[in-house]
A and B are shown apart, each in its own frame.
Chain A
Amino acid sequence: MSLELVCPAGTPSALRAAVEAGAHSVYCGFRDETNARNFPGLNFSPDEMIEGVRFAHAHGAKVLVAINTFAKAGAMDAWKAALANAEKAGADAVILADLAVLDHAATHHPNLRLHLSVQAAAATPEAIAFYADTFGVKRVVMPRVLSVEEIAKLNAAIDVETEAFVFGGLCPMTEGRCSLSSYATGKSPNLTGVCSPPEHVAYSEDKNGTATRLNGFTIDRFGAGEQAGYPTLCKGRFMAGGKTSYLFEDPVSLNAASLIAAFAKAGITALKIEGRQRGKGYVTEVVRTFRAAVDAIDAGSTEVEVGRLLAGLVEGGRQTSGAYKKAWR
Chain B
Amino acid sequence: MSETEKSTAMTKTGLTLGPVLFNWSPDRLRDFYARIADEADVDRVHLGEVICGKRQPFTEGLWPELIERLQAAGKEVVLSTLALPYNPRERASVIDFCKVGELAEINDLTALPSVAGKPFLVGPFINVYNEGAARFLAGRGATGICLPVELPIASVAVIAAELPEVEFELFAFGRLPLALSGRCYHARLHGLHKDGCQFVCDRDPDGLPVDTLDGQQFLAINGIQTLSNGVEAFCPTPDELAKLGVRRLRLSPHTVDMVAVSRLYRALLDGQASRGETLAALKALNLPGELVDGFTRGQPGSARVEMV
Residues of A within 8 A of B (CB): 70-74, 76, 97-101, 103-104, 120-127, 129-131, 143-146, 150, 172-174, 176-180, 182-186, 188, 190-191, 211, 215-221, 234, 236-241, 243-245, 247-249, 323, 326-329
With contacts A70-B127, A73-B154 known, what are 8 further pairs, Cβ within 8 A? A76-B130, A100-B135, A121-B84, A150-B86, A172-B183, A239-B212, A241-B208, A328-B183
Bound-state Cα–Cα, A72 to B156, Å: 11
**A177 contacts which chain B residues (CB < 8 A)?**
83-84, 125, 127, 179-180
Are A217's CB and B127's CB within 8 A?
Answer: no
A126 to chain B, nearest CB (A): 4
Write 9 A-B pairs (CB below 8 A) sorted by A numbering.
Answer: A123-B84, A182-B295, A188-B150, A236-B212, A243-B189, A247-B188, A248-B181, A328-B183, A329-B184
Q: Which of A129, A172, A234 has the most CB of B within 10 A?
A: A172
Contact of B133 among A100, A124, A186, A326 (CB under 8 A): A100
Are A179's CB and B183's CB within 8 A?
Answer: no
Are A73's CB and B185's CB within 8 A?
Answer: no
Tally of contact residues, B, Cβ under 8 A: 73
Bound-state Cα–Cα, A248 to B208, Å: 13
Are A190's CB and B129's CB within 8 A?
Answer: yes
Known contacts A100-B136, A123-B86, A245-B189: A174-B182 contact under CB 8 Å: yes
Are B127's CB and A103's CB within 8 A?
Answer: no
Known contacts A74-B155, A103-B132, A180-B179: A174-B226 contact under CB 8 Å: no
**B83 contacts which chain A residues (CB < 8 A)?**
177
Residue of B nearest to A133 (CB): B113
B11 to chain A, nearest CB (A): 23
Are B214's CB and A211's CB within 8 A?
Answer: yes
Are B155's CB and A73's CB within 8 A?
Answer: yes
Are A239's CB and B179's CB within 8 A?
Answer: no
Are B301's CB and A323's CB within 8 A?
Answer: no
Instruction: Please tell me if B91 contacts chain A, counting CB pairs below 8 Å.
Output: yes
Known contacts A180-B178, A218-B213: A145-B129 contact under CB 8 Å: no
Are B195's CB and A73's CB within 8 A?
Answer: no
Are B176's CB and A238's CB within 8 A?
Answer: no
Bound-state Cα–Cα, A172 to B224, Å: 10
A179 to chain B, nearest CB (A): 4
Are B226's CB and A173's CB within 8 A?
Answer: yes
A102 to chain B, nearest CB (A): 8
Instruction: Please tell me if B272 contacts chain A, counting CB pairs below 8 Å.
Output: no
Instruction: Please tell me if B211 contacts chain A, counting CB pairs below 8 Å.
Output: yes
Known contacts A103-B136, A221-B213, A238-B210: A183-B178 contact under CB 8 Å: yes
Contact of A248 among B150, B209, B216, B226 (CB under 8 A): B226
Residue of A nearest to B215 (CB): A239
Instruction: Please tell me if B85 contacts chain A, counting CB pairs below 8 Å.
Output: yes
Known contacts A130-B109, A240-B221: A99-B176 contact under CB 8 Å: no
Are A183's CB and B301's CB within 8 A?
Answer: yes
Contact of B127 among A173, A176, A184 (CB under 8 A): A176
Are A238's CB and B300's CB within 8 A?
Answer: no
Known contacts A126-B110, A127-B108: A72-B129 contact under CB 8 Å: yes
Bound-state Cα–Cα, A190 to B125, Å: 13
**A124 contacts which chain B residues (CB < 8 A)?**
85-86, 91, 108, 110
Are A179's CB and B210's CB within 8 A?
Answer: no
Bound-state Cα–Cα, A31 to B193, Å: 42
B94 to chain A, nearest CB (A): 8
Are B183's CB and A217's CB within 8 A?
Answer: no
**A173 contacts which chain B residues (CB < 8 A)?**
179-181, 226
**B131 contacts which chain A residues (CB < 8 A)?**
73-74, 100
- Give the interface SS of chain A, mostly helix, strand, loop or mixed: mixed
**A174 contacts which chain B residues (CB < 8 A)?**
84, 179-182
Instruction: Please tell me if B199 contacts chain A, counting CB pairs below 8 Å.
Output: no
Are A218's CB and B212's CB within 8 A?
Answer: yes
Task: Type the 1/0 row for B226-242, where 1 means its CB is closer than 8 Å to any CB of A.
Answer: 10100000000000000
Bound-state Cα–Cα, A172 to B182, Å: 8
Bound-state Cα–Cα, A234 to B83, Å: 20
Task: Type the 1/0 row for B138-156, where 1 means its CB is closer than 8 Å to any CB of A.
Answer: 0000000000111110111
Are A71's CB and B132's CB within 8 A?
Answer: yes
Are B299's CB and A247's CB within 8 A?
Answer: no
Closest 3 CB pairs of A and B: A100-B132, A145-B182, A73-B155
Bound-state Cα–Cα, A141 to B220, Å: 29
Instruction: Please tell me if B278 contacts chain A, counting CB pairs below 8 Å.
Output: no
Are B110's CB and A127's CB within 8 A?
Answer: yes
Are B182's CB and A144's CB within 8 A?
Answer: yes
Contact of B130 among A100, A176, A236, A243 (CB under 8 A): A100
Are B299's CB and A239's CB within 8 A?
Answer: no
Are B212's CB and A219's CB within 8 A?
Answer: yes
**B261 contacts which chain A residues (CB < 8 A)?**
none
**A218 contacts which chain B residues (CB < 8 A)?**
212-214, 216
Are A237's CB and B213's CB within 8 A?
Answer: yes
Residue of B nearest to A188 (CB): B150
Instruction: Please tell me if B289 contacts chain A, counting CB pairs below 8 Å.
Output: no
Are A179's CB and B133's CB within 8 A?
Answer: no
**A176 contacts which chain B residues (CB < 8 A)?**
127
Are A238's CB and B219's CB within 8 A?
Answer: yes
Instruction: Please tell me if B112 contacts chain A, counting CB pairs below 8 Å.
Output: yes
Are A327's CB and B193's CB within 8 A?
Answer: yes
Instruction: Please tell me if B48 contacts chain A, counting CB pairs below 8 Å.
Output: no
Are B213's CB and A183's CB within 8 A?
Answer: no
B124 to chain A, nearest CB (A): 10
Instruction: Please tell me if B294 contacts chain A, counting CB pairs below 8 Å.
Output: yes
Instruction: Please tell me if B30 contacts chain A, counting CB pairs below 8 Å.
Output: no
